DNA sequence: CATTGTATGTAACCTTTGTTACACCATAAC
DNA sequence: GTTATGGTGTAACAAAGGTTACATACAATG
């Protein structure tokens, strides 16, 4: 575990902090598709990602979903901290986008380290900073852009996160992420195909050129 | 200034911190409607609100706006901190909703106090926590609700912030805040009037009962 | 009182998005 | 093979919201 911590967090944390994390943290491996947190869950710990990616979503009362952002290696979940601080339940849902390795740190340590280590403090602030910006960008997207542009952004981000030009999703799954309907997404995807930007196949989409 | 700090922040900060703030902070008074920050501005300091309220907005490239939330007394602007940390320009616009009194603290002090005072640390985290939640609620609203419901939410919030059942705005101004068009807002307001929820007048709206 | 500028009301129309319905096709299960 | 299941394509329609256009009303000013 120490080695993985050094590889992914060595440039962020001082040696003593790395050691403390190694002592109290527990290593976890979760498969793609695994639901790591649901709305209303109580928070047990703060995750530090080693590899893979986690998809973070918002949900309304009717169970409608909206993709917020992805967490990648070297990142943590501000929302989790958010909940710990407020001693409230989770307001988001988190699902492994890929097979993911991470270290869970008990929440009590958070405050202790915040006082003790400048590097931890900076990390937590930076994390809040990043998350706030990402939520703002999603808000921009939902408020100011039309569905065709949102779909293109979505596909680009998928390509980046999974580092592959093939997107392994059904139209229905994409519709859930964008909080739209399958028919609308199929329609817009078909338009993109006719423009030569993508190729449609059953259960996967090949990205040619989203310019 | 000390007295105002004690009144509004005495329950949050220890005496030494209050004294430090009083030493380095500058007291400001801004009239309703004053633009305190525009997109792209560099940040000079962190504001601590004493009285009044500040409207925080997002803007896209075309200059279209969207109301994010209001800052009230005892609150600060995480976005500002956000920008200080990243040494980036402002991503939001801030306009005084009412005549507002506040204290500006130079950004350099922020990091110093974060190490020195637990109460300041807690305040900053709490502030991030609140802002993140507010942005999430706006996102919920934009993503999951229709314009009629968003309008009702908007009117309710206006009543709360200004502590008055009369809203001093034109339909056009409301349309800007909700990123809609004047005609749509007039249409929906008229519907609310016919339902007996509000009374429409030139330049102001009287709220009767939004249930 | 006449003029001007701004706020509001309303109709007609268009675009985007969502809904329903159904056909067709690929794959896996039998 | 046949059947069942789930994914995709498409048409027809509905609803929400945005746009254009214009009438009207109010208030401030000269």
Residue bearing tokens 């976005």: B79
Candidate from A78, A115, A143 with C-beta closest to B142? A143
Q: For B155-199, what is each residue's pLDDT tens digit?
A: 999 999 999 999 999 999 999 999 999 999 999 999 999 999 999
Strand C footprint nucleotides (protein C-beta < 7 Å): 6-12, 16-21, 26-27
CB contact at 8 A, B52 and B112? no
pLDDT of res. B85: 67
Nearest CA in chain A to B67: A143
Cα separations in angstroms, B195 against B58, B185, B192:
32, 15, 5
Sequence spans of domains, chain B: 1-142, 147-207
- The nearest CA of chain A is from the CA of B208 a distance in Å of 28
Residue-wise pLDDT tens for chain B (211 aa)?
A: 899 999 999 999 999 999 999 999 999 999 999 999 998 888 878 999 999 999 999 999 888 999 999 999 999 987 877 776 666 788 899 999 999 999 999 988 988 998 899 999 989 888 988 899 999 999 999 999 999 999 999 999 999 999 999 999 999 999 999 999 999 999 999 999 999 999 999 999 999 998 8
Give the pair of three-digit tokens for residue B144: 């999951």
Q: Which CATH number fits domain A147-207: 1.10.10.60, 3.20.20.70, 3.40.718.10, 1.10.10.10?
A: 1.10.10.10
Strand D nucleotides in reach of protein CB atoms, 7 A cut-off: 6-12, 16-21, 26-27
pLDDT confidence of residue A85: 67
For A9-65, the DSSP string reads: HTTTS-HHHHHHHHHH-EEEEE-TT-EEE-TTPPP-EEEEEEESEEEEEEE-TT--E
SS3 label, residue B71: strand
The pairing of strands A65-72 and A45-51 is unpaired
Structure tokens of B7? 């009144």
The helix, strand and coil proportions of chain B, stated in percent and rounded to the nearest 5, come to 50, 25, 25
CA of A206 to C1' of C14 (A): 34
Confidence at A186, pLDDT banded by 50, 70, 90: very high
- pLDDT of amino acid A44: 79
Instruction: Kindly report the nearest CA distance between residue A98 and chain B, in angstroms.
Output: 25
Closest chain A C-alpha to B82 CA, distance in angstroms: 6
Tell me the pLDDT of chain A averaged across its residues: 93
CB contact under 8 A, B140 and A85: no
Of B121, B131, B139, the CB nearest to A138: B139
Residue A186: half-sphere exposure toward Cβ, Cα within 13 Å = 9
Task: pLDDT band for A128, please (50, 70, 90 cuts).
Answer: confident
In chain B, residues with a C-beta closer than 8 Å to the C-beta of A138 are 139
Residues 132-161 of B with CB under 7 A from strand D: 146-148
**How high is the pLDDT of residue A41?**
87
Q: Which of A58, A115, A139 to mutate to test the interface with B (most CBs of B within 10 A)?
A: A139
As a whole number of angstroms, the distance between CA A85 and CA B174 comes to 34
Percent helix, strand and coil across chain A, each to the nearest 5:
50, 25, 25
Q: Do A139 and B138 touch (CB under 8 A)?
A: yes
Q: What is the pLDDT of residue B151?
A: 98
What does the alpha-carbon distance between residue B155 and residue B142 come to, in Å, rounded to a whole number?
Answer: 15
pLDDT per position as a tens digit, A131-178: 999 999 999 999 999 999 999 999 999 999 999 999 999 999 999 999
Q: Which of A90, A68, A178 is nearest to A134 (CA)?
A: A68
Do B58 and B170 touch, CB atoms closer than 8 A?
A: no
Candidate from B62, B64, B132 with C-beta closest to A132: B132
Q: How far apart are CA A34 and CA B202, in angstroms?
A: 56
| Separation CA A70–CA A55 (nearest Å) | 5
Of A86, A115, A142, the CB nearest to B142: A142
Nearest CA in chain B to A129: B82
Distance of CA A50 to the CA centre of its chain: 13
Tell me whether residues B139 and A144 touch, CB distance under 8 A.
Answer: no
Superfamily of domain A1-142: Jelly Rolls (2.60.120.10)
Is there a contact between B136 and A91 if contact means CB atoms under 8 Å apart? yes
| Residue located via tokens 């601080």 | A85
The answer to whether B169 faces chain A, any CB pair under 8 Å, is no
Residues on chain A touching B79 (C-beta within 8 angstroms): 132
Other beta carbons within 10 angstroms of residue A86's beta carbon come to: 14
In Å, the largest CA–CA distance within chain A is 57
């Amino acid at each position: 575990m120490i080695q993985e911590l050094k590889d992914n967090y060595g440039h962020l944390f001082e040696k003593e902090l790395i050691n403390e994390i190694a002592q109290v943290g527990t290593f976890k491996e979760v498969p793609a598709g695994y639901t790591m947190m649901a709305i209303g869950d109580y928070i047990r710990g703060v995750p530090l990602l080693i590899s893979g990616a986690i998809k973070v979503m918002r949900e309304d009362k009717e169970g409608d979903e909206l993709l917020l952002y992805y967490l990648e290696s070297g990142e943590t979940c501000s929302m989790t901290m958010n909940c710990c601080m407020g001693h409230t339940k989770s307001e988001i849902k988190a699902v492994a986008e890929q097979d993911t390795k991470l270290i869970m740190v008990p929440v009590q340590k958070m405050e202790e380290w915040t006082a003790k280590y400048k590097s931890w403090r900076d990390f937590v602030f930076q994390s809040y900073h990043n998350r706030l910006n990402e939520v703002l960008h999603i808000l921009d997207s939902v408020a100011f852009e039309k569905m065709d542009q949102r779909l293109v952004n979505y596909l680009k981000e998928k390509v980046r996160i999974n580092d592959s030009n093939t997107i392994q999703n059904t139209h229905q799954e994409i519709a859930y992420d964008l909080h739209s309907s399958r028919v609308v997404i199929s329609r817009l995807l078909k338009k993109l195909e006719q423009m030569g930007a993508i190729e449609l196949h059953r259960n996967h989409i090949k990205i040619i050129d989203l310019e």
